[in-house]
Each structure stands twice: as structure tokens, then as C-alpha cells.
């Protein structure tokens, strides 16, 4: 598949693979070896991540906690470790584990730009499908379209995450990810390929994408595209999330800083916010006729 001009390429794809740490754009790339790949999951039976770090660099990313276990001097979004032995490690693990559903990916986007070179997520998905496992994809990258040939006719749910219908906000919060229109097109093409499709609307961003208008727009799209399963998420004060959120708000929406801080860290404000947002989500899903598809 040719490089999608919508998404940044971190490498000249005709050049040899890097031997040591390299700087691609402003992202430091390291090739590392892992001891195990497939983990027991919270969302599905298992999950795997062929990369540590994610060049999509989303301001609210929950996977920032990974830096506790894999310390890097670079900020989140500015490093990616590539588990170059991911496929052989997975093949070894698959000899011992019972089949189940695998969520990919839980702590990175498996189709971030480096995947175009390394193809680790693709090859791991191939191994899993051949071994009788189901796959649940969640991505913000159009590179996943490269793998429709592998997924078609197999036990694959293909989903995208959309946090806001506004392209301008999406670019500010998710600088390395595909445009909103590009993600909707992933759903369209996945559906046309006969796959079960899912969407995660979230985290919905306070004052930005938690309005009736924005939520109505998102659910309208889900209805129009015939998405099979819909999830929503409220911004959570998970470890290390607040610094990234603060940085975006201070630079682009300082008036939202204080209400967002209160919603995240003051229990009564958070409870009231959650209640109202859940009502708004429920009504939007009803209006769009997709309430029965809520996950
Ligand atoms: S795409 Fe997902 S894993 Fe990657 S930075 Fe964004 S939220 Fe984090």
C-alpha cells in the first residue's frame, strides 16, 4: 500500500532499517527485544503491543503510564521502541495459550507510522488468526487499510477511535493520527469488506466534544455508516494524563483549563459531569437510532 499522504512517514521507506537509536522527524526510534508479547487483557482475553510508545502523540493518551515501566528521557509521543522479535516471541507463546479474543493494541497504536516499515502488527495478527484467535482492532491510522486483505473473511472486528468531530481539534489533540474523515473512511471500507465494525467515541473532551451538537454528529455518523458496536469514554485522570491535557489546553483553550481540572479531580464536579454526559450520550444514541448498539 502506498504511503497515505494524510499520515506522516517516519522513514524514507526505501532506506535500510536503523541499526541503533535514530531520530526520525522528532521521534527517537530504538529496536529492542521482548521476552513476551501476548498479555492477559482487561478489554478482551488478551492484548499485544509490538511497539512501546506511540508517535500519534495524543494529548490525553492513557498509555503514558507505560513510561513508568519503560523509562525514556523523551516525552510521550517522541519515542518508539520497536520489538523486533515480536513475531517469533508470539509464535512461541501461541504454542501454550488457549485461543481467545485479542485486543490490539492496548498501549500503542499498532498501525502507527513505523508499522509501515516493520509490519510487526500485521504479522502478529496473521499468526493469531491462523492459530484460531479472534482479533479486535482499535486504531486511528489509515495504515490499517493495508491489512484488509488479511482480515477479510476472518474473525476480525475493526474499530476506530474518534474523540471529536472537529478536524481542527483532532489535529491539536492527536497530531500524528489520521483525520476524522480518514477514520470514518476506515469504517466505510471495513464495512464494505464485510468486517464487523466498532467505534470508540472518546475520551469525549470537556467543552470541546461533549456538547449535544458534537455528540449528535458522532452518533449520526455511526448510524450512517452502520457501525455494529459503539463505545464512549469520559476523560479520566489516569496517571500521567493531566500534563498532556494541560499542555493542549494552556496552548489552545485556556478558558477550559479550570473546568477540566475540576471535572477530573474534584469528586462532586466529576460525578455531576458524568451524570449529565451519560444522559446526553443516551439521548444522542436514541435520536440516531443506535441505542441498541451501545457496548
Ligand atoms: S493513538 Fe492511542 S496509544 Fe497512540 S498516542 Fe494516541 S491515544 Fe495514545
- pLDDT tens column, 162-173: 999 999 999 999
Distance 183 CA to ligand 1 centre (A): 14
| pLDDT tens digit sequence for 191-205 | 999 999 999 999 999
DSSP reduced 3-state for 236: coil
Q: Which domains are present in the chain?
A: 24-293 (3.80.30.10)
Distance 143 CA to ligand 1 centre (A): 15
Distance 154 CA to ligand 1 centre (A): 26
DSSP reduced 3-state for 124: helix
List b or e across 192-211, with b for residues whose CB sees 16 or more CB atoms inside 10 angstroms: ebebbbbbbbbbbbbebbbe
How many beta carbons lie within 10 A of that of residue 191, not counting itself? Answer: 16
User: What is the arithmetic mean of pLDDT over 52-69?
Assistant: 89
Distance 57 CA to ligand 1 centre (A): 6
The residue nearest atom 3 of ligand 1, judged by CA position, is 108
- Mutate-to-test residue for ligand 1 from 109, 139, 176, 244, highest number of ligand atoms within 8 A of CB: 109
- Mutate-to-test residue for ligand 1 from 7, 51, 63, 203, highest number of ligand atoms within 8 A of CB: 63
How many beta carbons lie within 10 A of that of residue 276, not counting itself? Answer: 11
Per-residue cell: 13: 521507506
User: What is the arithmetic mean of pLDDT over 59-71?
Assistant: 84
Look at residue 65 in the predicted model and tell me its pLDDT.
77
| pLDDT tens digit sequence for 134-182 | 999 999 999 999 999 999 999 999 999 999 999 999 999 999 999 999 9
The residue nearest atom 8 of ligand 1, judged by CA position, is 61
- Residue 12: band (very low, low, confident or very high) from pLDDT cuts 50, 70, 90: very low
Distance 54 CA to ligand 1 centre (A): 6
CB contact set of 163 (below 8 Å; sequence gap of 6+): 60, 170, 173, 174, 201, 202, 203, 204, 205, 209
Q: Which residues line ligand 1 (CB under 6 A)?
A: 54, 56-58, 61, 63, 108-109, 140, 174, 177
| pLDDT tens digit sequence for 204-247 | 999 999 999 999 999 999 999 999 999 999 999 887 899 999 99
Distance 76 CA to ligand 1 centre (A): 10
- State how far the Cα of 180 lies from the Cα of 95, in Å rounded to an integer: 39
Q: Of all atoms in ligand 1, which is nearest to the CA of residue 108?
A: 3
Residue 8 parent element (H or E): none
Residue (of 47, 50, 29) closest to 38 by Cα position:
47
Amino acid at each position: 500500500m502506498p504511503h497515505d499522504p494524510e499520515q506522516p512517514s517516519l522513514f524514507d521507506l526505501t532506506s535500510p532499517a536503523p541499526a541503533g537509536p535514530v531520530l526520525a522527524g522528532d521521534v527517537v526510534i530504538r529496536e529492542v527485544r521482548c521476552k513476551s508479547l501476548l498479555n492477559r487483557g482487561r478489554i478482551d482475553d488478551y492484548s499485544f503491543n509490538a511497539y512501546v510508545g506511540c508517535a500519534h502523540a495524543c494529548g490525553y493518551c492513557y498509555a503514558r503510564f507505560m513510561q513508568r515501566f519503560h523509562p525514556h528521557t523523551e516525552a510521550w509521543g517522541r519515542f518508539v521502541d520497536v520489538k523486533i522479535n515480536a513475531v517469533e516471541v508470539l509464535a512461541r507463546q501461541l504454542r501454550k495459550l488457549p485461543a481467545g479474543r485479542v485486543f490490539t493494541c492496548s498501549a500503542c497504536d499498532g498501525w502507527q507510522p513505523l508499522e509501515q516499515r516493520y509490519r510487526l502488527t500485521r504479522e502478529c495478527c496473521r499468526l493469531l488468526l491462523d492459530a484460531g484467535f479472534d482479533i479486535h482492532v482499535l486504531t486511528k491510522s489509515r495504515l490499517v487499510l493495508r491489512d484488509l486483505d488479511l482480515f477479510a473473511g476472518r474473525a476480525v472486528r475493526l474499530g476506530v477511535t474518534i474523540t471529536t468531530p472537529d478536524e481542527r481539534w483532532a489535529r491539536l489533540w492527536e497530531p500524528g493520527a489520521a483525520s476524522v474523515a480518514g477514520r470514518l473512511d476506515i469504517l466505510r471500507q471495513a464495512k464494505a469488506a464485510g468486517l464487523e465494525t466498532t467505534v470508540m467515541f472518546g475520551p469525549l473532551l470537556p467543552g470541546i466534544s461533549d456538547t449535544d451538537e458534537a455528540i449528535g454528529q458522532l452518533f449520526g455518523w455511526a448510524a450512517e455508516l452502520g457501525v455494529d458496536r459503539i463505545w464512549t469514554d469520559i476523560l479520566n485522570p489516569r496517571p500521567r494524563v493531566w500534563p498532556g491535557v494541560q499542555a493542549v489546553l494552556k496552548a489552545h483553550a485556556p478558558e477550559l483549563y479550570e473546568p477540566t481540572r475540576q471535572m477530573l479531580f474534584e469528586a462532586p464536579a466529576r460525578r455531576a459531569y458524568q451524570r449529565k454526559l451519560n444522559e446526553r450520550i443516551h439521548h444522542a444514541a436514541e435520536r440516531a437510532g443506535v441505542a441498541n448498539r451501545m457496548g
